[in-house]
Chain A
Amino acid sequence: MSLSEHSSGRPFAKLASRLFTIMCASCTLLCVSILAILLWNVTSYGWDSLNWDLLTNYPSRFAEKSGIKSALVGSLYLIGLTALFSVPIGVGSAIYLEEYAPRTRWRTLVQLNIANLAGVPSIVYGILGLGLFVRAMHLNRSVMAGALTLTLVVLPIVILASQEALRAVPSTIRQASYALGATRWQTIWHQLLPAALPGILTGVILAISRALGEAAPLVAIGAATYVRFLPENLLTDEFSALPLQIFNWTDQPQKGFHQVAAAGIVVLLAVLICMNAIAIVLRYRFQKKVKVVTFNRILVYRGIFPKRIETNGARIDIIE
């Protein structure tokens, strides 16, 4: 490198190069320190309110008595239901698009549509939820309406991640499976899905953490911010959610509520960071192991054959 700079006859080339490196490095440093400052600020601000009462109290008109019980439970119901709906539908559409759909212009269009849905602002989904689930299906402001709306928000994430994971499975696995007489679904269920599982799980976790932090669609469908009970009937009862509660407290002028909001944020971030950490670990393992797919499963294929064949009085057990 130094040779090239001397011969190029530009005395400042080395200095410029070094300056540029420092500049880029400081950008990176700045990004990372923003994260650190952010976490530190919120934690130190909400530290005093961060106690057991926070988790067991309902929201109140008084900041010091306010808690996130109903919001936390609401959020857990929401992400549980969202996962229940979005995982089968999302993985199902990924399988259809990758393994079944003929490579025509229609598939390209569907693919483009999904990429676009991933970029649609979440509040627009909220308006859809308001028109479709709250009004047309008369779910009102129930947990179910919220969960269905969030399902639509995170569906593109699940689909795109699952597709990516399915695409990463080596095609030799498919060919070997078909060669042994397996049908399409057997190939998918016994070979592709197990191999793609870590990638799919990563996508699912990311989608769920998105659903956990999402407040805009819930505001649009009119979810309540002041709920002093736990939802019992998922189809009728009103609910609140953690990000919604934080939003409401931040919007209050009193400093006391800001403190409770900070404590709520710490709880929310703690859950999110745990989920993200799992996703990151999964993906790193996945990246390294993607080529080493268990071939032993494919050796004996439990296909259309019965598990045990009895002929000549002798019994052949098909080992697995």
Chain B
Amino acid sequence: MVTIANRTEIRTRFAEGVRLRIVFEFFLHGLLFLCAAVSILTTIGIVLVLLMESLQFFRDVSVWEFLTGTEWTPKFKPQHFGILPLFCGTFLVAGGSALIAVPLGLGTAIYLSEYASPLVRDIVKPLLEILAGIPSVVYGYLAVVFVSPVIRSWFPSADLFNAANACVVVGIMIMPMIVSMSEDVLRSVPRSLREGAYALGASKLDVTVRVIVPAALSGIVASILLAIARAVGETMAVSLAAGATPRLTLNPLESVQTMTAYIVQVSRGDTPTGTLEYRTLFAVGLTLFISTFVLNIIAQWILSRVREKYE
């Protein structure tokens, strides 16, 4: 028997379900929005924490002295707070590692995208991903135990820990990044460009070097910039391998200190909170953040242009 009561009951239950649903959906929408807000809050947090302590620091040390000073001696009297030696150390290591990683990485990327059989590619790419997944402290260990003795036997005048040491391991470290990103860009070059070049009688070498690589150039440059940003921010390997002497030099055989290595040094020592030395941590951190931020922004901008071009 169908009764009216039954029908209305079904209808009210239905309506209740809808109402609950709407509330639930609304609630979830808000919750997910909060999740997405975390990443924005992280950025704001980083900027606030770095700026607040850095402003305190710049009350005692002028920005001009910080940016142009050529001596970094926060631990001895007279104290000097010129970031240039740390900055120079950082970019010496980053540049040196790029010199190692770029030719090697680019050659591998070209081989994998243009020459290798699918089987080789399927084997090599995961292997390179393993190389990319090795923690940086392991590279630091390698630099200390294996690379350093080799460099010292070739160049006896080299310091025990030196920039070249760090360049080698950081170069190996960022190379997989260049390979995988460049390979993606090389493979996204439209087939029509290759076919057009072959139709004009170009050899495989011509097609690769004069057509594909130029077409993918902006993407390759972006991958190199991102790799350099990674090398600039690289911490554990560098602080183990490069030494701890802030020095304004371009000689890779000397011991240098990078910005990241300085932060590690201060963090490991017991520096009392609120002292000028403690605040250098944040001032150096801010400089590091801005350097990598600029490199990343440029790379992102180039990559977004590449995407517009081919997609």
Contacts and interface: CB of A to CB of B under 8 A. Distances in A.
Interface of A: 1, 4-5, 7-8, 13-14, 16-17, 20-21, 23-28, 30-32, 34-35, 38, 41-42, 45, 88-90, 92-93, 95-97, 100-101, 110, 112-117, 119-128, 130-132, 135, 152, 155-156, 159, 183-185, 206, 209-210, 212-216, 219-222, 243-244, 246-247, 250-251, 258, 261-262, 265, 268-269, 272-273, 276, 280, 304-306, 309-313
B93 interface: no
Nearest to B241: A250
Interface string B37-81: 011101101100110110000000000000000000000000000
A117 B142 contact: no
B296 A220 contact: no
B99 interface: no
A17 B6 CA distance: 83
B230 interface: yes
Interface of A is mostly: helix
A209 to B, nearest CB: 6
A127 B39 contact: no
B140 interface: yes
13 contacts: A31-B175, A32-B128, A35-B130, A42-B142, A119-B233, A123-B233, A126-B263, A128-B46, A135-B273, A152-B42, A215-B236, A258-B145, A262-B141
Interface stretch (B18-26, B151-159, B187-195): B18-26
Interface string B275-301: 000000110010011001101110110
Nearest to B42: A152
B119 interface: no
B205 interface: yes
Given A116-B296, A119-B229, A41 B142 contact: yes
Nearest to A45: B145
Contact of A123 (B10, B42, B130, B235): B235
Given A88-B35, A250-B240, A304-B18, A128 B205 contact: no
A269 B138 contact: yes
Interface residues of B, number: 102
A252 B123 CA distance: 38
Contacts of B120: 28
Contacts of B10: 309, 311
Contact of B39 (A13, A113, A276): A113
Contacts of A96: 32-33, 35-36
A20 B205 contact: yes
B196 interface: no
B214 interface: no
B292 A8 contact: no
Contacts of B29: 100
A131 B31 CA distance: 26
B178 to A, nearest CB: 10
A220 B201 contact: no
B146 A27 contact: no
Contacts of B260: 121, 123, 216
Contact of A214 (B126, B130, B135): B135
Contacts of A309: 10
Interface of B: 1-2, 6, 10, 13-14, 17-18, 21, 24-25, 28-29, 31-36, 38-40, 42-43, 45-46, 49-50, 52-53, 103-108, 110-112, 114-116, 120, 124, 126-131, 133-138, 140-142, 144-146, 172, 175-176, 179, 198, 201-206, 208-209, 226, 229-230, 232-236, 240, 260, 263-264, 267-268, 273, 281-282, 285, 288-289, 292-293, 295-297, 299-300
B136 A124 contact: no
Contacts of B144: 250, 258
Contacts of B289: 120-121, 124
Given A131-B53, A311-B6, A116 B293 contact: yes
B146 A41 contact: yes
Most-contacted residue by chain A among B39, B128, B289 (CB, 10 A)? B39
A32 B105 CA distance: 11
Nearest to B141: A250
A23 to B, nearest CB: 6
A108 to B, nearest CB: 10
Contact of B138 (A21, A120, A265, A313): A265
Contacts of A130: 49, 267
A88 B32 CA distance: 10
Given A96-B32, A121-B233, A128-B46, A28 B135 contact: no
Contact of B108 (A4, A28, A45, A97): A28
A9 B145 CA distance: 53
A42 B140 CA distance: 12
A185 B24 contact: yes
B36 A97 contact: yes
List the 3 closest A-B pairs by CB distance, nearest first: A121-B233, A213-B135, A27-B107
Contacts of A280: 126, 129
B33 A35 contact: no
Given A115-B296, A119-B296, A247-B140, A17 B39 contact: no
Most-contacted residue by chain B among A5, A221, A243, A247 (CB, 10 A)? A247
Most-contacted residue by chain B among A216, A258, A305, A313 (CB, 10 A)? A216
Given A90-B35, A120-B289, A215-B235, 11 more contacts: A96-B36, A119-B295, A119-B296, A123-B285, A135-B273, A213-B134, A304-B14, A304-B21, A305-B14, A311-B6, A313-B1
A276 B133 CA distance: 8
A8 B203 contact: yes
A318 B45 CA distance: 50
